[in-house]
Amino acid sequence: MIRVDMSKCTGCRRCETVCAFFHTGKVSNRLARIKVVNLYESGIDGPVVCAQCKERYCMDCPVNALTIGSGGQIIYSPTGCVLCGTCETQCPIGAIEVFNECVYVCDLCGGRPKCVEACTEGAITYDPDGDMSLESLEKAEKMNPDQKRHNYVRKQGEELRKTWRGERA
């Protein structure tokens, strides 16, 4: 899985940029499988990417267009997909999203994630054996992926802000 340490993130979005570029040859946050949230009211920045969660909410896919690869990554089959949006709705953190008739989710770049290489700050690291649970999060099915990412980063950032305040008190 790709681990995120938000305390090191500067919000530069290099992860997002290289992700889009190396998958599509183009640059746009919509084409990226890792997306950065910049919170201007609190100074928090953080990328959101598939956590390869234990729960595997996205596997509710009714047509089995998603499978799990040997690295734990999600493998997407565009030919099987009917664009129903179930995966997008089910993911609690907005890490999988339908855009322009295609599903965007982290594929680990075949085991050498480009976002990790691009991050000069060590905010993103690759941990082949790691996993995590998202069970404690609210399901938030009514939110769009953008709102879910925002919510997730904001909540994660609360702890970080406490640390900042503590250090500066």
Cβ proximity to other proteins, 73 vs 89, nearer residue: 89
Residue 114 CA to residue 94 CA, distance in Å, equals 20
Least distance (Å) between residue 13 CB and other proteins? 6
Least distance (Å) between residue 147 CB and other proteins? 6
Cβ proximity to other proteins, 17 vs 52, nearer residue: 17
Cβ proximity to other proteins, 139 vs 162, nearer residue: 162
Least distance (Å) between residue 102 CB and other proteins? 13
User: How many CB atoms lie under 10 A from the CB of residue 28?
Assistant: 12
Least distance (Å) between residue 105 CB and other proteins? 17
The burial class, CB within 10 Å (0-12 / 13-18 / 19+), for 116 is buried
Contact residues for other proteins, defined by CB under 8 A: 7-8, 10-14, 17-18, 20-21, 24-31, 35, 37-38, 40-43, 45, 99-100, 120-121, 144, 146-147, 149-150, 164-165, 167-168
Q: What is the DSSP string of 44-79?
A: EEEEE-----SS-GGGG-TT--EEE-TTS-EEE-TT
Do the Cβ atoms of 53 and 133 come closer than 8 Å?
Answer: yes
Structure tokens at 141: 């099915």
Cβ proximity to other proteins, 128 vs 169, nearer residue: 169
